[in-house]
Structure 1
Amino acid sequence: MKHILSILVENKPGVLSRVTGLISRRGFNIDSLSVGPTEDPTMSRITIIVKADDVAYEQITKQLHKLVSVYKISDLTKESAIERELVLFKVNASPERRNEIIEITNVFRAKIVDVGKSSLTIEATGDESKLKGMEDLFRAYGIKEITRTGKIAMSRNSKEV
């Protein structure tokens, strides 16, 4: 099962290495990894997507809790959460086909961030299915390059008023 972990850690050198090392030493592959500072500059949030059964997942979280620099671990897998990822697509775009690519970009509410002689670079954010849909459509034109960020996620706090 795929688990989305949101881990609040100290914003210090070596913390990311210890967290990812702990997971990889247990034989699990990290599908997605994203790290950034929080509203508190002394803290960072690590968002990790890892595939593990429930027993292995419990073992991972127990070990993570033992790390001094880890303050809080949230499993957003079963919660109502907002998930986003950023993708840059560099797509072959001959002058006669550019309008088609621009239309696809507009339909998905993405942005063209660079125009070359024979390509367009498109920036898109969204969930996995939206980005996969764009990728599938752009493949017909020829994708020169794709760059993706790791997934970020935040719980919906529906109890707040």
Structure 2
Amino acid sequence: MKTAPSERHTLSILVDNEAGVLARIVGLFSARGYNIDSLTVADVSGDHAVSRITVVTSGPPAVIEQIMAQLDRLVPVHRVLDLTALGPHVEREMALVKVAGVGDKRVEALRLADIFRARPVDTTTQSFVFEISGSTEKVNQFVELMREVGLVEVARTGVVAIARGKEAV
């Protein structure tokens, strides 16, 4: 029996902005053994009544459909959209990357940061903290290259995403 290949999907979930909603969403994933690769939450309405939860998860198409159906049944959920299936959308992630080094390592860290359009947000004589934003792949590549020149630690935001075009979805 052949299993369907796992696909990465970005889900946008509009929910009531109330206590316990995030725990219910995460609990749904946890209870069913679904993995969350990235999770972000932000208030998106003027009256602070609605939040957008952006979840990146992976699975075969049938599992993604099942996740969406189960999320859609939760009471505080207004709408669940699979941005990946909808088509063109913009995804970004931000990271703070601390790199230590002196001499040639320091020069190389600055050169790589310039290539990736990462900007230094903190500098000492022994280290930098760079801020980088872009696709997850870009952030991953920057972090991997910084391992070679003195990576100390990384803090990441998770993916935020929105559909392209003039229509609100």
Tell me the residue number matched to 1:17. 23
TM-score for the superposition, normalised by structure 1: 0.92
TM-score (norm 2): 0.88
CA RMSD of superposed structures (Å): 1.7
Rounded Cα–Cα distance in structure 2 between residues aligned with 1:129 and 1:2: 13
Identify the residue that residue 58 of structure 2 maps to in structure 1.
51
Q: What is the distance in 1 between the residues matched to 2:144 and 2:65?
A: 36
My pick for the range that moved more, 101-110 or 82-91, is 101-110
Q: Alpha-carbon deviations, 1:49-91, whole Å to 9, x = none? A: 1112122222211111111110011101131110000111111
Secondary structure (helix, strand or coil) at the match of 2:84 reads coil
Find 1:137's aligned residue among 140, 145, 166: 145
Match of residue 62 from structure 1: 69
Instruction: Give the Cα–Cα distance (whole angstroms) in 2 for the partners of residues 159 and 6 of structure 1.
Output: 15
Partner secondary structure for residue 154 of structure 1 = strand
Partner of residue 91, structure 2: 83
1:156 to 158, 161, 164: 164
Give the aligned residue type for 1:14. G
- The 4+ residue runs of structure 1 with deviation greater than 2 A are 95-100
Residue number in structure 2 paired with 1:104: 112
Q: CA deviation at 1:96?
A: 4.6
Equivalent residue in structure 1 for 2:135, among 119, 127, 130: 127
Residue segments in structure 1 that go unaligned for 5+ positions in a row = none
The answer as to whether partners of 1:93 and 1:141 remain within 8 angstroms in 2 is yes
Shift of residue 158 of structure 1?
6.2
Identical aligned pairs, as a percentage? 39
Please give the secondary structure, in 1, of the residue aligned with 2:72.
helix
Shift of 1:116: 2.4
Q: How far apart in 1 are the matches of 2:152 and 2:145?
A: 14
Alignment of 1:36 onto 2:9: no
What one-letter code is carried by the residue in structure 2 that aligns with 1:27? G
Residues 115-151 of structure 1: CA distance to partner in whole angstroms, max 9, x if unpaired?
Answer: 1232111010000221122122211112110111111
Which of 5-14 and 149-158 deviates more? Answer: 149-158
Find out whether 1:72 has 2:79 as its counterpart. Answer: yes
